[in-house]
């Protein structure tokens, strides 16, 4: 064993007294962690503010934390800055409380509910495509980050609650934008943990209040009468009881729905925006995808057609490799652990980054290059299990990952049948690491019809 590997503390960047590397990291978190991993290896130690942080990049170490020793690592403590969005939901609770909640919530996301969700996706996407028709005819440039956010918000709101008045959808969407945007900006703020009464903070609290008021009304109404059938709300009420478990309380149902709303659009919107950008940058891949989707028929493919859209699925997977929406996740060990020969002490902060692991040079040849064939079954079979984990992994794998994948496949295939999307030449787009990994500053796109409507 080498001298470096026998040390109890891994190598890592030096920082400043009290704040550690935080001033360096906050300027460009993505690049900072990428440079740290490249310079110091698979286990990197650093001081990030008050936390002693260990950045883990190798798939085997990710597997250790998320699967093999998942019982040693808690998720709740690192989630302080996002708790306003997720409450005490499945996303942040730990231990026996998490196990009970997972049993209650899991049935609502089983394949039996996918067909209803797909119908919501199909309708909302068809509405967007019709709205695009006059824009394409006039050569209007559309901004795809905003378009995908608007689409995925509509989808998740209808999927949760059924038929909602357009004005109500718009009001809730605006509140979600404000609440999520504030948390996104505060994640790497030096004063993000302080409750300073700024105008932005007041606006944020009002937005949270509007979201909570909407949810409370829907939850109360659902407890008084039967909620719309086929909705996530109905499934969350009925599934635990049907499975022989305890029903969710009103407070638990409120927090789970809030989490589904936020997570259900932020990640999908970012991923879809990246998909259109990457396809525009790789016209050969775009052509193959469009041909496959048009060969599926004259109507937008349904869930039953998705297995025949293998190339489309591989393109989506490769984009999620390059630009995973959840680019960073954190855990806290509840007891001392050992990874790669190093001691990971209780109470420290362990950071896992799909963005970094998805580019690990020992696993991914030419990791910066787009290559959808990485996800053919033959090539995927030889990769470590946690070389690719855009939806997390282990017992806490994202409960909505299958729905998100179906949503992206349906949207991409429907759009490809109707339009060719081309990002304006000369547009400089860079990844911004916030609550999700999103393209910035925008993805200005020109629409061109691909068939007669």
Mean pLDDT within 414-426:
94
Would you give the distance in Å from CA 376 to the centre of its chain? 23
Contact 261, 176 (CB under 8 A): yes
Q: What local confidence, expressed as pLDDT, does residue 220 receive?
A: 94
Tell me if residue 143 falls in helix, strand or coil: strand
Q: What is the model's pLDDT at position 1?
A: 40
Number of Cα atoms under 13 Å in the Cβ half of residue 57 = 24
Hey, which residues does 53 pair with through a beta bridge? 46, 349
Q: Comparing C-alpha atoms, which of 319, 394, 390, 395 is closest to residue 353?
A: 390
The DSSP result for 286-353, as a single string, is HHHHHHHHHHT-SS---GGGGGG-HHHHHHHHHHHHHS-SS--EEEEESS-EEETTEEE-TT-EEEE-
Per-domain boundaries in the chain? 3-449
- Give just the sign of the alpha carbon dihedral 119, 120, 121, 125: positive
* Predicted confidence (pLDDT) at residue 383 exceeds the cutoff of 90: yes
Query: 449 pLDDT band (50/70/90 cuts)?
Result: confident
- Residue 298 pLDDT: 67
Rounded average pLDDT over 31-35: 97
Name the percent of the chain lying above pLDDT 70. Answer: 96
Rounded to the nearest integer, the mean pLDDT of the chain is: 93
How many residues appear in the chain?
A: 453
Q: What are phi and psi of 246, to 5 degrees?
A: -85, 145
Q: What's the rounded mean pLDDT across residues 315-338?
A: 97
Q: Which of 206-220, 235-249, 362-376 has the lowest mean pLDDT?
A: 235-249
pLDDT in tens, 335-369: 999 999 999 999 999 999 999 999 999 999 999 99
Residues above pLDDT 90, as percent of the chain: 84
Omega before residue 441 within 30° of 0, cis: yes
3-state helix, strand, coil in the chain (%, to 5): 60, 10, 30
3-449: CATH, from 1.10.10.10, 1.10.630.10, 3.40.50.1980, 3.40.50.720:
1.10.630.10
Residue 451: what pLDDT?
Answer: 58
Integer Cα distance of 364 and 330 in angstroms: 23
pLDDT band at 95 (very low <50, low <70, confident <90, very high): very high
> For the stretch 277-295, what's the b/e string if a residue is b when 16 or more beta carbons lie within 10 angstroms of its beta carbon?
bbbbebeebbebbbebbee
With a cut of 80, say whether residue 194 has pLDDT above it: no
For position 300, what pLDDT does the model report?
77
Using DSSP's 3-state secondary structure scheme, residue 16 falls into strand
208 phi and psi, to 5 degrees? -60, -40
β-bridge pairing 51-56 and 349-352? parallel
pTM of the entire predicted model: 0.94
DSSP state of 68: I
């Amino acid at each position: 064993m080498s001298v470096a590997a026998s040390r109890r503390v891994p190598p890592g960047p030096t920082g400043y007294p009290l704040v550690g590397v935080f001033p360096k990291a906050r300027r460009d978190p993505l690049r900072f962690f990428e440079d740290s991993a490249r310079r110091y290896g698979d286990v990197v130690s650093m001081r990030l503010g008050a936390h002693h942080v260990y950045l883990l990049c190798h798939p085997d170490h990710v597997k250790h934390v998320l699967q093999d020793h998942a019982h040693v690592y808690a998720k709740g403590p690192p989630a302080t800055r996002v708790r306003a969005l997720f409450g005490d939901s499945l996303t942040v609770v730990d231990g026996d409380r998490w196990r009970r909640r997972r049993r209650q919530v899991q049935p609502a996301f089983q394949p039996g509910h996918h067909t209803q969700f797909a119908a919501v996706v199909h309708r909302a996407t068809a509405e967007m495509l019709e709205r695009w028709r006059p824009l394409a005819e006039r050569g209007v440039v559309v901004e795809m980050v905003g378009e995908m956010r608007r689409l995925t918000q509509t989808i998740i709101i209808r999927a949760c609650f059924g038929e909602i008045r357009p004005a109500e959808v718009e009001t809730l969407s605006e509140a979600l934008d404000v609440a999520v945007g504030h948390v996104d900006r505060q994640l790497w703020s030096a004063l993000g943990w302080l409750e300073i009464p700024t105008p932005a903070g007041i606006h944020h609290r009002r937005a949270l209040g509007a979201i909570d008021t909407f949810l409370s009304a829907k939850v109360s109404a659902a407890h008084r009468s039967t909620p719309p059938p086929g909705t996530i709300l109905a499934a969350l009420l009925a599934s635990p009881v049907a499975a022989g478990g305890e029903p969710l309380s009103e407070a638990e149902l409120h927090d789970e729905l809030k989490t589904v709303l936020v997570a259900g659009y932020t990640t999908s919107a970012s991923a879809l925006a990246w998909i259109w950008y990457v396809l525009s940058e790789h016209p050969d891949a775009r052509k193959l995808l469009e041909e496959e989707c048009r060969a599926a028929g004259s109507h937008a493919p349904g869930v039953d057609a998705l297995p025949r859209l293998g190339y489309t699925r591989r393109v989506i997977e490769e984009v999620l490799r390059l630009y995973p929406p959840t680019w960073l996740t954190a855990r806290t060990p509840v007891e001392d652990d050992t990874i790669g020969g190093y001691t990971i002490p209780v109470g420290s902060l362990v950071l896992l980054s799909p963005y970094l692991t998805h580019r690990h040079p020992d696993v991914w040849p030419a990791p910066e290059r787009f290559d959808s064939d990485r996800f053919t079954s033959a090539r995927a079979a030889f990769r470590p299990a946690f070389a690719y984990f855009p939806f997390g992994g282990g017992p806490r794998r994202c409960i909505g990952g299958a729905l998100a994948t179906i949503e992206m496949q349906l949207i991409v295939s429907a759009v490809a049948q109707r339009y060719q999307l081309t990002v304006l030449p000369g547009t400089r787009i860079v990844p911004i690491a916030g609550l999700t990994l999103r393209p910035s500053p925008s993805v200005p796109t020109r629409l061109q019809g691909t068939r007669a409507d």
